[in-house]
Amino acid sequence: MANGGRVPILYFRTQHAPILTTLAQSFVSKAFWKVAIDAFRDPATDFRVRHAWATIFKATVVHHAQTATLTLSCRVGAQGLFAYNDIISHHASLLGIAIAEGDILGLCIRLVSELLIGRYSLPESTHPDSLLARHEKGLLSQGRALLEKMQHHRSDEFNRFILPKCDSIVRAIGHRMAYDAAVDAGLDSTITDLYLVTAVKLDSAWYVEKEKHSCAVQDATEDEAIVAALPRLDDWLDQTGVEAYCQVPILSQSNWDTFVNGLKEHTSPTSQLLAKL
Ligand SMILES: Cc1cc2nc3c(=O)[nH]c(=O)nc-3n(C[C@H](O)[C@H](O)[C@H](O)COP(=O)(O)OP(=O)(O)OC[C@H]3O[C@@H](n4cnc5c(N)ncnc54)[C@H](O)[C@@H]3O)c2cc1C
């Protein structure tokens, strides 16, 4: 389609952007994972804060993975629906992970309630001027301001106005923590810039309203980050090291041929007769 000529499907922004975004999120999540594990295991830290790290990591990373598996599954069309390509079955596993060992929403409701009441607080951002740190601070301040107008956190207003926001507030904290971890670990800025702009877009309206960060600026910054990331695609895929573990039919022509040749052939007397004609 570019200038009327034929192009690979990867040329389309709608195809390469979700792949690059998922890769950036996976690298940043790995940096976040290392920091979260250290914080969770630190015996000098208040146990409730250690528990908070686990909740925030789970809520943030499971959400990234769930979004990625659904989006990527759609981008390979009907092939995304087949369990043999492992994308949609991975999404089903994530639904279980989200519930098992602590349902994410339940964990988030508890954490946000305790943070707003002020029972304990989380470590400050190492990049307090970043958009993500300002977002986190802004959402918690808004929550505290709302709580002040209510009788207490077990009120009907809390149920109506705060509970529906708890998971997105926890993910906002997680985006900030993940970004801080990745920048502090020295990850390539192509990765951290893309993570930042895509995280901003998850609550786009807030940035327009509170930071005067317009939709046009958000689009332009996202475009810049994706254009910078695209030449890194093969390199990033290699860096994941997962190729050996995802040998599904859709991955290559030879995998597809092996898969098709291995399918059981069903025949009937009529089809055998037709074959002889
Ligand atoms: C794959 C998988 C493996 C599992 N393995 C085990 C295992 O090995 N051993 C074991 O004992 N259990 C296991 N479980 C069970 C698991 O621990 C529970 O499913 C989980 O704790 C959620 O509890 P529930 O299913 O009773 O949902 P509920 O607690 O009934 O939650 C149902 C819905 O209500 C919401 N909700 C619940 N409480 C509140 C609240 N206070 N405020 C607002 N909303 C709320 C939840 O967010 C959810 O949307 C497993 C579950 C899965 C999916």
Q: Does ligand 1 lie within 6 Å of residue 117's CB atom?
A: no
Q: What is the pLDDT of residue 2?
A: 61
In this structure, what token pair is assigned to residue 223? 């475009």
Distance 49 CA to ligand 1 centre (A): 22
CA distance 40 to 31: 14
Please, are residues 147 and 153 in contact by the beta-carbon 8 Å criterion?
A: yes
End-to-end alpha carbon distance in the chain: 43
Name the closest-CA residue to atom 29, ligand 1. Answer: 103
Task: Verify whether ligand 1 is closer than 6 Å to residue 8 (CB atom).
Answer: no
What pLDDT sits at residue 32? 98
How confident is the model over 43-76, as pLDDT tens digits? Answer: 999 999 999 999 999 999 999 999 999 999 999 9
Is 124 touching ligand 1 by the criterion CB < 6 Å?
no
- Number of Cβ atoms within 10 Å of the Cβ of 93: 12
Task: Indicate whether residue 106 lines ligand 1 (CB < 6 A).
Answer: yes
Which of 8, 102, 12, 26 is CA-nearest to residue 68? 26
Query: Is the model's pLDDT at 140 over the cut of 80?
Result: yes
Q: What is the pLDDT of residues 144-176, one digit of tens each?
A: 999 999 878 888 999 999 999 999 999 999 999
User: With 70 as the cut, is the pLDDT of residue 129 above it?
Assistant: yes
CB 99 less than 6 A from any atom of ligand 1? yes
pLDDT digits (tens, 9 = 90+) for 67-86: 999 999 999 999 999 999 99
User: φ and ψ at 194, to 5 degrees?
Assistant: -65, -40
Q: Does the beta carbon of 96 lie inside 6 Å of ligand 1?
A: yes
Closest CA to 48 of 128, 104, 113: 113
Query: Ligand 1: distance of its center to the CA of 55 in Å?
Result: 15
For the CA of 105, the closest atom of ligand 1 is 47
Summarised one tens digit per residue, pLDDT across range 244-266 is: 999 999 999 999 999 999 999 88
Q: Could you tell me the sign of the dihedral formed by the alpha carbons of 197, 143, 30, 74, in that order?
A: negative
The Cβ of residue 268 has, within 10 Å, a number of other Cβ atoms equal to 8
Mean pLDDT of the chain: 95
- The model's pTM: 0.93
